[in-house]
A and B are shown apart, each in its own frame.
Chain A
Amino acid sequence: MAIRRKLFASIAMLVGLFSSAIFASDLNMRPGVTETSIEAFDLHMQVIWVMTFVGAVVFIAMFISFVFHRKSKNPTPATWSHSTKMEIVWTAIPVLILIYLTIPAVKLLLKMEESKTDADLTIQITGIQWKWEYMYPEQNITFISSLSTPRDQIDSGAEKGENYLLEVDNELVIPAGKTVRFLVTADDVIHSWWVPDLAVKKDAIPGFINEAWTHVPEDAIGTYRGQCTELCGKDHGFMPVVVKVVSQSDFDSWVAQKNEERIAAEKAAAEAAASSWELDKLMALGEEIYNGKGACFSCHKADGSGTPPLFPALKGSQMATQADQLNDHINIVVNGKSGTAMAAYGSQLTDAELAAVITYERNAWGNDTGDAIQPSQIQAFKAGN
């Protein structure tokens, strides 16, 4: 008796959880905002219902047995152990159910995997440990998008914001009502670019370009968040994707603004490169880059100790302290080292920033070389490269 009650209780719990999944929307998948994401959601619901139905049949049959065919109720068991007819039935019915599910799945798959060579906008997405680079080839815009959640929210108990770990410094901006084509690739290891509300998840494979697309309707302007979904090393959990969907006119002005910014930045960089920098100024900027935009700290640690041998210590490293290795030092920061996690920062940072971060590495944590690397040295290095 007690057993039966407990059995019922636990099954009721399961059924309860399961059906709450169906009815309470925050327990379920998000329908998302695009046609494909909504169709995916519908298909998901359809399968859930089918599974619930099949499950109900199987489990109810079992429970009838538990109740009516227990030894106390049914002391002499039946002696049959075979029925070809039944076996044919329960082979055929699942086949039919599966066919019923396959048809919409095939349709949706073909739709999602369509190639959109005639898209309105093309964006190249590159996964880099642990940030995304977005490039708009036709608009001449390139920027890096990385996590902007403050460290103290992660490491210490500081109050966490609503978009904790799902916020970035530079969002990907796309126009609503337009078909956008994504060219997804990676520089180092495999990443995967996922935005649940758009139902786009594509692996970023180094050496290959995968294609995906989305079309966000005009009434769905807003910000959509996702994450890298392929294990890509230490900070895989800290590599969010944020997409800002704006109207076409807002998009145009964003493009114009980005272009102005770029021109201004190029000019400022040229000026900065032309001028001579004091050590303190380099150190101040260097520290900012090291712990911010460059995210060098994420591998080499804020105190320069790294995690040898995965990520070498910079504190006391030969390269960062020996005068005759200065060139190698500049080289590894500008060009990276292929086949390792050390990416090329030559195009991610300006010459002044590169000079500053290298200076910082040569003077911080007791490296004290006193070197003040000038932006012009970086320029010269790049020119001779």
Chain B
Amino acid sequence: MADHHPTGIKRWLFTTNHKDIGTMYLWFSFVMFIVGGSMAMVIRAELYQPGLQFVDPNTFNQMTTMHGLIMVFGAVMPSMVGLANWLIPMQIGAPDMALPRMNNWSFWILPFAFTLLLLSFTMPGGAPNFGWTFYAPLSTTYAPPSTDFFIFGVHMMGISSIMGAINVIVTVFNMRAPGMTLMKMPLFVWTWLITAFLLIMVMPVLAGAVTMMLTDRHFGTSFFDAAGGGDPVMFQHIFWFFGHPEVYIMILPAFGVVSEIIPAFSRKKLFGYASMVYATASIALLSFIVWAHHMFTVGMPVAGELFFMIATMLIAVPTGVKVFNWVATMWKGSLTFETPMLFSIAFVILFTIGGFSGVMLAMAPIDFQYHDTYFVVAHFHYVLFPGAIFGTTAAVYYWMPKWTGKKCNEKWGKWHFWLSMIFVNLTFFPMHFSGLAGMPRRIPDYNMMFAGFNELASIGAFGLGLVQILFLFIVIKTVRSGEKSEKKPWDGATGLEWDQIDTPAPYHTFDTPPKVS
């Protein structure tokens, strides 16, 4: 079959091809990762030593805010959508996503949304400076004018995510090849299906929250103002009703990736497939009823605190099932340690450590001590960087041959892994200690007693930043002049995308549906 595809810039602007769109998502997310990462570098440079050196406190707050927003909405979420685009159709035997044009719209909204968000740096009063959680009233009456553009930017990201999620769900429900029953789908598809469901449920709620902010700012409503019968804490409830499922939106697809890679390099079937599916679904369902664990100190009624504490701790159970299943998959396997496997193993270990600190945070009476300190920052970077980012990185190494027909250089990959592993721990582990010692988050300057930890974290962060440049270099080098890959570069890999599709995957896969036994 002639594998022709449109050429020139129009190929990318007007495309309806899931692979092109996936590629654009992945590159976009990497650009955002670098932008958000650069802001983290500013944060870490300022925090390297006590005293104010590089930026004034207001700029620091802008950096923190935009770092969080860009990493969450610009780097992690689009990278997962990029993977979904590339993999889901191939893994379920579909020719493309169900709604290819809408797919392209989902993508192209994002660069514009982030342009709008980044433009705020040039506006009078500067960029948003109220944290990625934008609590009212700091984000309403006390916020800089650019907040309105932030609000519309969030609306745009929401539209993009919702359309992306609709596409995934419809693709999975309606486009599977004959014989590909739900319980035969690869776990990556399952985790994304569940993620898409979460997205559809919570992104509109976020849109509602920012809309209320907008009217509180400009049209005299009092949603978040006690003088008019509203409540600033109501904002937090609405935000976290979105925000907690959001953190699972960022991690579930990574769970899926790891559940593909570990069996491949253990040369053994994934242990407990069915319970993996049920565990993922339980995590998603529980995620709707735990949101107020971010708000233990706001003065909720005790009954509420008890409920949210216990519900949150329960999430450790299904997540534990996943971790144990991964371990059991490796058990008595025939393991090799190529780069994707290394990243996946690090994922399991470091995510688990992040999960442990999560359980500690879930316990309300001690969260009073941890809350809004660097202990929380340590927690969420452990689940996000070696979690979500390592997950994506592992996926890139694993599926790179399928995408480009070329293999990443193992030696470089291992360097990338080991340096990341060292620096990620050097950056984020000391944050546990500064948090326990009492250092609050979102501060540009601190007492001497936190100096040692911050110095370590900053050194680690600069290293981690440089290592990501290495990653960029590896990817470019592979695409340009990588070693050619055979059809199935990993002997343990299974699934339609390896068994029934050429390497590299042709522009159009599956002219006729594959048979799944």
Contacts and interface: CB of A to CB of B under 8 A. Distances in A.
Query: Are these two chains actual partners, yes or no?
Result: yes
A190 B330 contact: no
B327 A58 contact: yes
B418 A6 contact: yes
A384 interface: no
A69 B331 contact: yes
Contact of A81 (B141, B269, B438, B445): B269
B365 A112 contact: yes
A339 B422 contact: no
A42 B345 CA distance: 32
Contacts of B447: 163-166
Contacts of A81: 268-273, 329
B47 to A, nearest CB: 10
Interface string B425-467: 1000100110011101111111110000000000000000000
Interface in A20-35: 21, 26-30
Contact of B57 (A40, A235, A309): A235
A143 B275 CA distance: 60
B294 to A, nearest CB: 12
A10 B135 CA distance: 39
Interface residues of B, number: 100
B279 to A, nearest CB: 9
A203 B335 contact: no
A86 B328 contact: yes
A199 B368 contact: yes
B320 interface: yes
B327 to A, nearest CB: 5
Contacts of A165: 50, 445-447
Given A163-B447, A188-B142, A87 B272 contact: yes
Nearest to A93: B320
Given A109-B364, A190-B232, A207-B231, A78 B332 contact: yes
Contacts of B141: 339-340
B491 to A, nearest CB: 10
Contacts of A201: 297, 368-369, 371-372
Given A77-B267, A154-B52, A309-B125, A40 B330 contact: no
B313 A102 contact: yes
Contacts of A94: 316-317, 320
Interface in B130-146: 130-131, 135, 137-138, 141-142, 144-145
Interface string A59-72: 10110011001110
Contacts of B126: 310
B314 interface: yes
Contact of B51 (A27, A90, A160): A160
A192 B371 CA distance: 10
Contacts of B364: 105, 109
Contact of B321 (A27, A55, A91, A308): A91
Interface stretch (B81-89, B298-306, B397-405, B505-513): B298-306
Interface string A337-350: 00111000000000
B1 interface: no
A44 B360 contact: yes
B444 A237 contact: yes
Contacts of A70: 334-337
Interface of B: 50-52, 57-58, 61, 124-126, 129-131, 135, 137-138, 141-142, 144-145, 225-227, 231-233, 266-275, 297-299, 302, 305-306, 309-310, 313-314, 316-317, 320-321, 323-325, 327-337, 345, 348-349, 352-353, 356, 359-360, 363-366, 368-369, 371-373, 414, 418, 421-422, 425, 429, 432-433, 436-438, 440-448
13 contacts: A6-B418, A11-B349, A40-B365, A69-B266, A70-B334, A83-B271, A91-B321, A98-B316, A109-B306, A192-B297, A201-B297, A206-B226, A233-B142
